[in-house]
Amino acid sequence: MSFRERCEVTEAEDRKPRSDEARYDPEITSEFAIPAGLDVPKTIVEPETTSEFAVPQGLLAPEPPSAEPEGSAFSPPRVHGAKDSLTAFTPAAGVPLVSLVKDAPWQDRMRTMLRMPVAERPAPEHVQRHEDEGPAVPRVLDLTLRIGELLLAGGEGAEDVEAAMFAVCRSYGLDRCEPNVTFTLLSISHQPSLVEDPVTASRTVRRRGTDYTRLVAVFRLVDDLTDPETHVSLEEAYRRLAEIRRNRHPYPGWALTLAGGLLAGAASVLVGGDLIVFVAAALGAMLGDRLAWLCAGRGLPEFYQFTVAAMPPAAIGVAFALAHVDVKASAVVTGGLFALLPGRALVAGVQDGLTGFYITAAARLLEVLYFFVGIVAGVLLVLYFGVKVGGKLNPDAALIINERPLIQIAASMLLSLTFAVLLQQERSTVLWVTLNGGVAWTVYGAMHYVADISPVASTAVAAGLVGLFGQLLSRYRFASALPYTTAAIGPLLPGSATYFGLLSMAQNEVDKGLVSLANAASLAMAIAIGVNLGSEVFRIFLRVGSPGKRRAAKRTRGF
């Protein structure tokens, strides 16, 4: 049979229908089936290919990172330092090398970091990490807010409050924290990483009180928290903070009243008063203080307390003028004003404005304005009735001040000492601030009375030295600079300019009165700017960190 015939037979067989046996025979699966008895080595059957990018078998590929579990605000912080955390991003210009001097006070180190952009802040050293897991994030933020509340209520500047809050968070391992301080509200936000939700807490400051002893104790607590050689647990920090809150004032109420009277008497001597004027001003200030305490007990706002406290010294001065007593009645009123002028709030407000905290600065200065208006209302009311009943007070007496250097220096030191008592300072700081106040008045008198320099320039230079020496003493004691500067500026306060401006307005000499009040405002600004400038000059010459630490100050110039 030829090949063609065989192909036709095969095609014919293929067209034949299969029988039922052949159709349902399980043994026949394919024409390509292997005959029985033939041993063929088995081949590895590859699974069905699902993708062109499938990993070949036998190649170990790295496991993909597992999704991070959803965190909780009450879980312990996972990272306790910038060295253990992942970098967020790198700026286009690179990260500048910034080194912080470890021996510097924590105020300078934290202030340096706060003034820098967030991306350029260096990684701090580990402080309070002594275990694998730290305290819960909300508790650290709560402690931070409570510390900031005491500092802000005590009159500390907004930048220093933020520096303290930043230091507390860093000491417990919360690196990505951003504190924010305004006049009555403190808030802080912590972001564990770029993919986790931030935790934010806030606290409202509703009541302020002047107690520099408590302020210094809070600074010591923050200093211990930031010390690498001292371990303070969170429970210990809470216990110490509770003790600070329960701490009694170092001076009783009668001592504060007596200090207010001596302050007014010393101020009256500074403007030319004698012994009778000293006693009269002291009595008027003490009576005004008791009346203010009575109003405070009745729940009246501070505006009315200042108004009532300003009336007794002015009334005694008008009584001397009506009785034609041969004393300097204007010095009595001026001494009473010295005890009421809000120099502490003024310095803090201007300092906040100079450091870029404009909202807080505006609120503080508005508070000073309200207090000043209250004092003006009380004094003007008494002076107006005094002039109407025939009291003759001479506004030109401001130009006649007897130069008594030794007596005035002693009076300035007494004024600073009593001012320190009113601020509830520690007894160990009273002597230093008394000497600082004497130096301030000596410099002012030498420049104004001897060298015949304008009072505004003389006040600014004297206040600058106060700020310089205050920073020096605070660095020596590792404490706040407020206890060493606030009371020392007492002799420089513009009490006489304020009084004579009010007297001119009471006698319908409005133009002369406005000029005198503008002079008082200029002196007040000179005091505040001088104190802040002295502090900044000290930090510059201290040379803390690298020259790049003050780059963030450019933000106020539009960079």
Tell whether 216 and 187 lie within a shared domain. Answer: yes
- Give the whole-angstrom CA distance, residue 141 versus residue 151: 15
Tell whether 171 and 283 lie within a shared domain. Answer: no
The band of 55, judged by pLDDT with boundaries at 50, 70 and 90, is: low
Domain boundary among 215, 246, 277: 246
For the ranges 121-125, 264-268, 377-381, 459-463, which has the lowest average pLDDT? 121-125
Tell whether 413 and 396 lie within a shared domain. Answer: yes
Tell whether 423 and 519 lie within a shared domain. Answer: yes
For the ranges 163-167, 435-439, 529-533, 555-559, which has the lowest average pLDDT? 555-559
Q: Give the pLDDT score at 414.
A: 92
- Give the whole-angstrom CA distance, residue 110 versus residue 174: 14
Q: Smallest Cα–Cα separation from 509: which of 400, 383, 323?
A: 383
489-507 pLDDT, tens digit per residue, is 888 888 777 777 777 777 7
Tell whether 151 and 215 lie within a shared domain. Answer: yes
State the angle between helix axes of 495-506 and 510-542 in degrees (0 to 180), rounded to the nearest 10. 160
Highest-confidence segment of 27-31, 145-149, 449-453: 145-149
- Give the whole-angstrom CA distance, residue 467 versus residue 49: 79
Task: Tell me if 276 is assigned to some domain.
Answer: yes
Q: Is the pLDDT of residue 105 over 70?
A: no
The band of 117, judged by pLDDT with boundaries at 50, 70 and 90, is: low
Beta bridge pairs of residue 188: 179, 201
Q: What torsion do the CA atoms of 228, 232, 238, 240 make, to the nearest 10 degrees?
A: -90
Residue-range definition of the domain harbouring residue 346: 253-557
**H or E segment to which residue 55 belongs:** none
For the ranges 58-62, 163-167, 192-196, which has the lowest average pLDDT? 58-62
Task: Tell me if 46 is assigned to some domain.
Answer: no
Please tell me the total count of domains within the chain: 2
Overall size of the chain counted in residues: 559
Tell whether 240 and 259 lie within a shared domain. Answer: no
Q: Give the pLDDT score at 548.
A: 39
What are the structure tokens assigned to 210, written together? 């002047």
Q: Give the pLDDT score at 143.
A: 92
The band of 383, judged by pLDDT with boundaries at 50, 70 and 90, is: confident
Q: Is 142 left (phi over 0), alpha (psi -120 to 50) or beta?
A: alpha
416-428 pLDDT, tens digit per residue, is 999 989 888 888 8
Tell whether 483 and 504 lie within a shared domain. Answer: yes
Domain boundary among 246, 268, 295: 246
Mean per-residue pLDDT over the chain, rounded: 75
**Could you tell me which residue, 429 or 62, shows the higher pLDDT?**
429
Residue with tokens 């009243």: 257
Tell whether 355 and 461 lie within a shared domain. Answer: yes
Domain boundary among 219, 246, 273: 246
Q: What percent of the chain has pLDDT over 90?
A: 8
- Taking a C-beta distance cutoff of 8 angstroms, is the pair 137, 174 a contact? yes
- At residue 239's C-alpha, the angle toward residues 233 and 241, to 5°, is 105
The band of 262, judged by pLDDT with boundaries at 50, 70 and 90, is: very high
What are the structure tokens assigned to 198, written together? 């931030």
Q: Which amino acid is at 248?
A: R
Q: Give the pLDDT score at 417.
A: 92
- Give the whole-angstrom CA distance, residue 29 versus residue 481: 98
Q: Give the pLDDT score at 67.
A: 47
Tell whether 535 and 399 lie within a shared domain. Answer: yes
Q: How far apart are the first and last CA of the chain?
A: 103
- Taking a C-beta distance cutoff of 8 angstroms, is the pair 280, 320 a contact? yes
Q: Is the pLDDT of residue 382 over 70?
A: yes
**Could you tell me which residue, 249 or 95, shows the higher pLDDT?**
249
- Who contacts 47 (Cβ-Cβ below 8 Å, separation ≥6)? none
Q: Which amino acid is at 100?
A: L
Q: Is the pLDDT of residue 372 over 60?
A: yes
Q: Which amino acid is at 308?
A: V
> Which class for 507: exposed (0-12), middle (13-18), buried (19 or more C-beta within 10 A)?
middle
